[in-house]
């Protein structure tokens, strides 16, 4: 049975209109989604230091990622049960439920929670949870100001002096420490250990807990041949983007794996990518760690040649220097320059009067 010609024409016209509406909706929504994933960025100055962050302007209020507050020294966590971001600084503790225009503030004197209002609700985006900066900062007891001429936002935390980051040993003696990150592995680590053994030189290995689990015998060899250890987290995350409880979990899990494997718990820590926040520094200090960075970055992770690595070392070395290299196979051949350069680094710095020591020994000689 066929429909009358007029009815067929009617359905065709209706179908065409519906198709145009669908295409229009797609064309309008696609740019909106693209814009959401390309949020603007700007520096916010925390105690004079510019911290670059994404932001959203909502009803005249500056919204920033909740994790940005780690830059102020605040602990930031997520409560999945109540879908809330939890902020803690000293005795101040409060939670911001996502999508709600209020906070739940803990009152230590009563042991109960008290509800307070927000100027605008927190919001969830593809880039994380965003919170109203002014409200949160004021609750933390900090000062926030805006300079309209410079178009800059300033936060004054009023927090105490931060634990120092160690970039080199404070010594006039010609001491130098070789350090290797990200291992152990079964490819580059044994080659490096062979060279160090042949040259009679100690080094410090900042190990990942995951790699220690994969290569426990290589880890034992590092220790048995007289080298020192440092904690480099379990899975190598950028700590700036990690909730506080997970930062603690990464570090503790690595300590447990190291102790289980070789019976030691190092007190040295190096953050992945050399990146960490004020909050992370305070937590690591509370956990008893000394945070070790470097003064000579060989950039070997870029696949540098032995010649380029040697050039960097000779350019940047000084008494008390800490040399950064890596010992994890990620891309075939990427760290071949590291292995090729190592015996030359040792021989050439020896010729300049340098003595190779572990980071611990270097710090013991520092004044």
Q: Which of 104, 135, 181, 280 is catalytic?
A: 181
SS (H, E, C) the chain: CCCCHHHHHHHHHHHHHHHHHHHHHHHHHHHHHHHHCCCCEEEEEECCEEEEEECEEECCEEEEEHHHHHHHCCEEEEECCCCEEEEEECCEEEEEECCCCEEEEEECCCCEEEEEECCCCCEEECCEEEEEHHHHHHHCCCEEEEECCCCEEEEECCCCCCCCCECCCCCCCCEEEEEEECCCCCCHHHHHHHHHHHHCCCCEEEECHHHHHHCHHHHHHHHHCCCEEEECCCCCCCHHHCCHHHHHHHHHHHHHHHHHHHCCCCCEECCHHHCCCHHHHHHHHHCCCEEECCCEECCHHHCCCHHHHHHHHHHHCCCCEEEEEECCCCCCCCCHHHHHHHHHHHHHHHHCCCEECCHHHHHHCCC
Q: Is 181 known to be catalytic?
A: yes
* Contacts of 220 by beta carbon, 8 Å cutoff, 6+ apart: 261, 262
For residues 355 and 176, is the Cβ–Cβ distance under 8 A? yes
Structure tokens at 113: 């929670």
Q: List the one residue out of 309, 355, 313, 339 whose CA is nearest residue 194.
A: 339
Q: Which of 227, 232, 236, 326 is catalytic?
A: 326
* Contacts of 24 by beta carbon, 8 Å cutoff, 6+ apart: none
Structure tokens at 17: 């209109």
Q: Is 326 known to be catalytic?
A: yes
CB contact burial 43-70 (16+ within 10 A = b; e otherwise): ebbbbeeebebbbbeeeebbbbbbbbbb
Catalytic annotation, residues: 181, 326
């Amino acid at each position: 049975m066929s429909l009358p010609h007029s009815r067929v024409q009617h359905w065709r016209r209706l179908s065409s209109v519906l198709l145009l509406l669908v295409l229009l909706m797609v064309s309008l929504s696609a740019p909106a989604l693209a814009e959401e994933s390309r949020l603007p960025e700007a520096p916010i100055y925390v105690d004079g230091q510019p911290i670059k962050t994404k932001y959203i302007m909502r009803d005249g209020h500056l919204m920033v990622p909740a994790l940005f507050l780690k830059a102020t020294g605040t602990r930031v966590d997520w409560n999945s049960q109540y879908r809330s971001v939890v902020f803690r600084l000293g005795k101040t503790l409060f939670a911001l439920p996502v999508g709600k225009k209020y906070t739940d503030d803990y009152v230590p004197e009563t042991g109960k929670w008290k509800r307070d209002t927000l100027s605008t609700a927190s919001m969830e985006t593809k880039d994380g949870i965003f919170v109203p900066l002014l409200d949160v900062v004021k609750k933390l007891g900090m000062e926030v100001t805006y300079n309209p001429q410079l178009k800059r936002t300033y936060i004054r935390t009023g927090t105490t002096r931060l634990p120092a980051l160690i970039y080199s040993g404070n010594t006039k003696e010609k001491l130098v420490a070789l350090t290797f990150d990200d291992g152990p592995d079964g490819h580059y680590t044994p080659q490096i250990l062979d060279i160090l053994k042949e040259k009679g030189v100690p080094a410090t290995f900042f190990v990942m807990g995951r790699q220690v689990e994969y290569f426990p015998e290589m880890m034992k060899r590092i220790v048995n041949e007289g080298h020192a250890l440092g904690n480099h987290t379990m899975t190598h995350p950028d700590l700036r983007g990690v909730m506080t409880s997970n930062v603690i979990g990464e570090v503790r899990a690595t300590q447990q794996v190291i102790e289980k494997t070789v019976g030691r718990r190092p007190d040295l820590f190096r953050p992945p990518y050399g990146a960490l926040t004020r909050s992370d520094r305070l937590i690591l200090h509370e956990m008893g760690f000394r945070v070790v960075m470097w003064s000579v970055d060989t950039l070997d992770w870029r696949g540098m040649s032995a010649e380029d690595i040697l050039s960097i070392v000779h350019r940047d070395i000084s008494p008390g220097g800490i040399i950064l290299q890596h010992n994890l196979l990620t891309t075939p051949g990427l760290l071949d320059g590291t292995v090729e350069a190592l015996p030359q680094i040792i021989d050439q710095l020896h010729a300049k009067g340098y003595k190779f020591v572990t980071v611990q020994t270097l710090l013991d000689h520092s004044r």
